[in-house]
Structure 1
Amino acid sequence: MNFELTAEQQTFRDAVRGFAERHLRAGALERAHNPEHPWDIARLMAEQGLLGITIPEQDGGQGGTLMDAVIAIEAVAQACPRSADVVQAGNFGAIRVLAEYGTEDQKKRYLKRLLSGEGVICVGMTEPEAGSAVTDLNTKATPEGAGYRVSGEKVFTTHAPYSD
């Protein structure tokens, strides 16, 4: 199996590396120690097309591959690991679930903010007794009125303090 990047992937990697060196290396240490979400960096990443790489074009994304997103994350991380987390959140996990399984109304309501760097998404999965083993979770959603009552306990919910 060939694990070499294609010429197109190498060009993309080099472009992202150059961008990261010019715009992200300065201030990387300060960002790493700042508990706040780097909204300015998120907007900059959106302007560069680094949020939504894995999201279909019809949903406002770039329509790229998972490998494209991994290449971008690695290239950004070499200059600023905290900024790489912004790229990760804008391409993997909950944002992909929303793009894949969300209703058209949900996509219209949330994806634009997420892909513009004006919002960030999180998912409450990890529980004290189950970890991230989704088959062992204790949280329940029970019907109540026109909605649901969610009960349970979550820990380690990445991006929760500033997510939408």
Structure 2
Amino acid sequence: MTDDLSSIGLDEEQRELAGMVRDFAEQVVAPQAYEADRTHTLNLDVVRQMGELGLFGLPFPEEHGGQGGDYLALGLAIEALARVDQSLAITLEAGVSLGAMPIHRFGTQEQKAEYLPSLLSGENLAGFGLTEPEAGSDAGATRTTARLDDGEWVVNGSKQFITNSGTPITRFVTVTAVTGSQGQGAGDGKEISTIIVPNGTPGFTVEPAYDKVGWNASDTHPLTLQDVRVPEENLLGVRGRGFKNFLSILDEGRIAIAALATGAAEGCLEAAVDYAKKRTVFGSALSTRQNAQFTLARMRARVHTARLAWHHAARLRDAGRPFAEQAAIAKLVSGEAAMDNARDATQIFGGNGFMNEYPVARHYRDSKILEIGEGTTEVQLLVIARGLGLAG
């Protein structure tokens, strides 16, 4: 069902990676997906195996325990996982893009040496605390504050919807906080910085997990920070550059989310084609009905378009060229493809598509967040419009 990978420019090593993760997804991830979703449980044994395969270290240099790969390699792995289980795919995506990547991109040599080895091996996870009750798409509205006091940052505030923040292997959460005014931040002249807050720090509370519509096996919590004190050297990157640094991390993350959405769209297509061939209606296979064929053909076209979009954005990023607009296009196209394919697959399945034991039902619940998280559809449209030179 997948495209001939060689036809879209993958080399032998990349094809082997995609095939290896696809086999792992079918043999290890898929069998546990229903139960993990039903019980809202992140399977840490599977996470450990993902680490052993080197997936968390794919786009990082070998000197810190990475695989020396690139963002295209990461996307291939995420796409393969998302075909069968979006929760584990987002665990990988967030663990790399939001957990380890900020340390790799902006951390000191000491921070890299301390944190990256365990993150890239999958031994630990980390979260990125950006979103707040009053600051979602408008991240410049951040209200969490951090002030220096006797060589320590004192952090107060709250965060919400933070992935990988409360697992038994979560080591820290990097939080954005207002550290002053008239800096290089955003929103009312706020100086926004990023600070590493280790889990278990007094005053740092990981609140009970959310009861979500989808991604039920993904770890997601609200966070409360009350007079949390961490060393001054826990500042990540240059003071006042936190907002700008976050935007660059988000641009990269959108490529990974686009890969995830493409995998979800493909998983829906494969399940729907298989079901349509087996399902008999009025004496013949559902797949022989022109309406069903047209639906499946449109689903196929969405997968193909989404894959081309995220591959293009990843290659631009890996070549060191501007890619923000292409990342936004990829996320827009692929997020809509995942949601549309989930809806169409559920329709093909009929009543069975409403049963959680079938993967299409989980994809239907899971896929909506792909039009919201790491930048809503409206934000992607805004980025694309600005690329056209349209002021706002």
User: How many residues in Structure 1 have an aligned counterpart in Structure 2?
Assistant: 162
RMSD of aligned Cα (Å): 1.9
Unpaired runs of 5+ in structure 1?
none
1:90 Cα deviation after fit: 3.2
SS of residue matched to 1:153:
strand
Of the candidates 1, 8, 32, which is equivalent to residue 4 of structure 1? 8
1:127 matches 2:132:
yes
Separation in 2, partners of 1:4, 1:66:
16
Separation in 1, partners of 2:16, 2:151:
51
Residue 110 (structure 1) aligns with: 115
Residue 49 (structure 1) aligns with: 54
Residue 65 (structure 1) aligns with: 70
Of the candidates 93, 98, 109, which is equivalent to residue 98 of structure 2? 93
Separation in 1, partners of 2:88, 2:161:
19
- Go from structure 1 to structure 2 and tell me whether the alpha carbon gap of 1:36 and 1:111 turns closer, same or farther (over 3 Å shift): farther
Residue 35 (structure 2) aligns with: 30
C-alpha contact 2:65 2:121 (8 A) present in aligned 1? no
Separation in 1, partners of 2:123, 2:37:
20
1:119 Cα deviation after fit: 1.3
SS of residue matched to 2:159:
coil
- Go from structure 1 to structure 2 and tell me whether the alpha carbon gap of 1:85 and 1:66 turns closer, same or farther (over 3 Å shift): same
Separation in 1, partners of 2:161, 2:95:
19
Tell me the TM-score normalized by structure 1: 0.87
- Go from structure 1 to structure 2 and tell me whether the alpha carbon gap of 1:22 and 1:36 turns closer, same or farther (over 3 Å shift): closer
Residue 144 (structure 2) aligns with: 139
- If each structure's helix is expressed as a fraction of its own residues, which one has the higher value? 2
What do the CA deviations read for 1:72-121 (whole angstroms, capped 9, x no partner)?
A: 00101112222212321332123101112222222222222222222110
Residue 21 (structure 2) aligns with: 16
Tell me the TM-score normalized by structure 2: 0.39
Q: Percent identity?
A: 35
Unpaired runs of 5+ in structure 2?
1-6, 172-392
1:62 Cα deviation after fit: 1.1
C-alpha contact 1:126 1:155 (8 A) present in aligned 2? yes
1:128 maps to a residue whose letter is: P
